[in-house]
Amino acid sequence: MELSVTSTDFATVNGTSAFVPAPASPYQGDIARYWDQEGRPVNLRLGDVDGLYHHHYGIGDVDHAALGDDRDSEYEKRLIAELHRLESAQAEVLLDHLGSIGRHDTLVDAGCGRGGSMVMAHQRFGCNVEGVTLSAKQADFANRRAHELGIEDHVHARVCNMLDTPFDTGQAAASWNNESSMYVDLHDLFAEHSRVLGVGGRYVTITGCWNPRYGQPSKWVSQINAHFECNIHSRREYLRAMADNRLVPQAVVDLTAATLPYWELRATSSLVTGIEEAFINSYKDGSFQYLLIAADRV
């Protein structure tokens, strides 16, 4: 679905009128079209395992006992289930870092995709979760899933630019980006998170970033940028932009070693997309890192 709307237009998604701000730039319009047209099996078949549809990668050791013999006819099915388990484990680690969340709190998922992390957050905390995505297709998918689970009063996705959200200042107890911050300017992004969060609120991101010690983005990082039409930032850029926007890091966790097993397993599956080699090689040569950063709004 391709939307062409102004900031005062309303679009209809599955019969429901929704306010849709215009993308902030032609690039973001391109990103909206990219994700509206995306239907990779690696994102859908993994979600089919238990109905949690993610748009991020996994962490943790592979359970080889659960995989069993790779000559078994059920091996590929078990491999997909294992990849999905590692995806959900990544989301659990992000939620672990949100701090103390109450049932009446509101959380914001910036770049929510098909809504898997929002569902997990509500199931854990019992709170309200608002998601934003440039993709009408993703928002519609996430809202259908919330309805199917009977949690549509608490979990909601909307088509929205994460740099200009409709949420009240100080409305959110916590917010996050899970592998979505490489599509925007970090200063603009963190300014909006800082506005939406209440003082003392927690922001968490899990992201791939290029390692300043390497010198410049490596050829592998450039391949990842081209594959996903994104612009991967350096670790230094994240920390500087947070500091400029009243977000004080409380934890910086290097997840690089923890994500390699996911990629090495995925590279052996039927769901390969051709980008697996770039991730594996860049993590191994040190030019790319997988980080969690948790910061408090001061």
Write down the pLDDT at residue 14: 43
Write down the pLDDT at residue 22: 52
Q: Does domain 25-297 have CATH number 3.40.50.150?
A: yes
> Is residue 148 classed as helix, strand or coil in its secondary structure?
helix
Q: Which portions of the chain are predicted below pLDDT 70?
A: 1-24
The residue extents of the domains of the chain are: 25-297
Alpha helices in the chain (DSSP H): 26-37, 41-47, 64-67, 75-96, 116-125, 136-148, 186-196, 219-228, 235-243, 256-266, 276-285
Q: What is the dihedral of CA 273, 181, 176, 17, to 10 degrees?
A: -80
Write down the pLDDT at residue 42: 85
Write down the pLDDT at residue 254: 98
pLDDT in tens, 10-45: 343 443 334 445 556 899 889 999 999 988 788 899
pTM higher than 0.75 = yes
pLDDT in tens, 258-281: 999 999 999 999 999 999 999 999
Residue whose token pair is 């300043």: 212
pLDDT in tens, 59-80: 999 999 999 999 999 999 999 9
Write down the pLDDT at residue 235: 97
